[in-house]
């Protein structure tokens, strides 16, 4: 295969599964890690060689600290972050992606009573720690982890991030601006500017006053083409 063909098929963003099974013990999070800091740095070096970004599925420590020191693009889920990890994330502009929607879905769709109890404990811990992360100015991006729950309802994430402490304006910035930067597309998407993709939606209200209007999209334009009006 020619290099140009190979490059066109490469992954533009890679997610590594950094933590394993989560448990809540005495109000704290216990989770096993998959990769050491050295292993993550090796992955980052190889990704950088190919112009690719890496985010990690990571719920707690010490895994989050290893990921932050390695310089990943995002720490997805981030139920618990130590003060040292939060400081590194703020310094390196590493985004936390809370994914409250999937946590809520698991609470509402437990496999058994023990599963429901664990998921409720994880969500409560996550909300409490999210407040600390906001206070520590940890950079935030929006992601729902859609897949286990149906596509088309992930705008619930905006509501939950506001409900748990962010202002509507900050959530929109976390989605449009930080999301684009996280993906490496800051000069292509997320803003209405010359040279950017003409991606536009219309909703029946002002999301700065009521973030839930984002669940009711009446108009969709993608790259200048109208798909819904």
Q: Give the DSSP H or E segment for 160.
A: helix 156-163
Domain that holds residue 206: 198-229
Does residue 229 sit in the same domain as residue 118?
no
Residues 65 and 132 in one domain: yes
**The domain that contains 129 carries what CATH number?**
3.20.20.140
Q: What pLDDT score does 8 carry?
A: 61
14 Cβ contact list (under 8 Å, min separation 6): 43, 47, 52, 53, 54, 55
Buried-state track 40-73, b at ≥16 Cβ within 10 A, e below 16:
bbebbeebeeeebbbbbbbbbbebbbbbbbbebb
End-to-end CA distance of the chain: 43
Q: Is the domain of 43 the same as that of 128? A: yes
Residues 45 and 129 in one domain: yes
pLDDT 10s digit of each residue in the chain, 229 long?
Answer: 334 445 567 788 999 999 989 999 988 999 999 999 999 999 999 999 988 999 999 999 999 999 999 999 999 999 999 999 999 999 999 999 999 999 999 999 999 999 999 999 999 999 999 999 999 999 999 999 988 888 889 999 999 999 999 999 999 999 999 999 999 999 999 999 999 999 999 999 999 999 999 999 999 999 999 999 8
What was the pLDDT predicted at 119?
95
Residue 1: the pLDDT is 33
Pairing of strands 28-33, 200-202: unpaired
Do 118 and 214 share a domain, yes or no? no
Domain match, 146 and 170 both: yes
pLDDT at 101: 96
Identify whether residues 118 and 228 lie together within a single domain.
Answer: no
Domain identity same for 87 and 130: yes
Same domain, 32 and 108: yes
Shared domain check, 157 and 105: yes
Q: What is the pTM of this model?
A: 0.92
Same-domain check for residues 125 and 206: no
Token duo for residue 9: 């098929």
Number of domains within the chain: 2
């Amino acid at each position: 295969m020619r290099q140009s063909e190979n490059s066109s098929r490469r992954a533009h963003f890679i997610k590594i599964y950094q933590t394993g099974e989560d448990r809540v013990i005495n109000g704290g999070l216990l989770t096993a890690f998959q990769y050491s800091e050295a292993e993550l740095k090796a992955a980052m070096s190889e990704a950088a060689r190919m112009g690719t970004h890496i985010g990690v599925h990571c719920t707690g420590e010490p895994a989050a600290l290893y990921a932050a020191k390695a310089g990943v693009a995002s720490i997805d889920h981030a139920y618990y972050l130590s003060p040292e990890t939060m400081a590194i994330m703020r310094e390196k502009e590493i985004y936390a992606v809370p994914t409250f929607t999937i946590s809520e879905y698991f609470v509402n769709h437990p496999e058994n009573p023990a599963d429901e109890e664990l998921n409720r404990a994880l969500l409560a811990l996550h909300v409490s720690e999210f407040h600390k992360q906001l206070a520590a100015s940890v950079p935030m991006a929006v992601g729902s982890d859609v897949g286990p729950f149906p596509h088309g309802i992930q705008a619930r994430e905006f509501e939950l991030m506001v409900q748990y402490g962010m202002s509507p304006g900050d959530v929109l910035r976390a989605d449009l601006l930080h999301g684009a930067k996280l993906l490496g597309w800051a000069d292509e998407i997320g803003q209405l500017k010359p040279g950017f993709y003409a991606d536009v939606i219309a909703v029946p209200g002002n999301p700065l006053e009521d973030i839930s209007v984002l669940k009711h999209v009446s108009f969709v334009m993608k790259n200048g083409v109208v798909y819904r009006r």
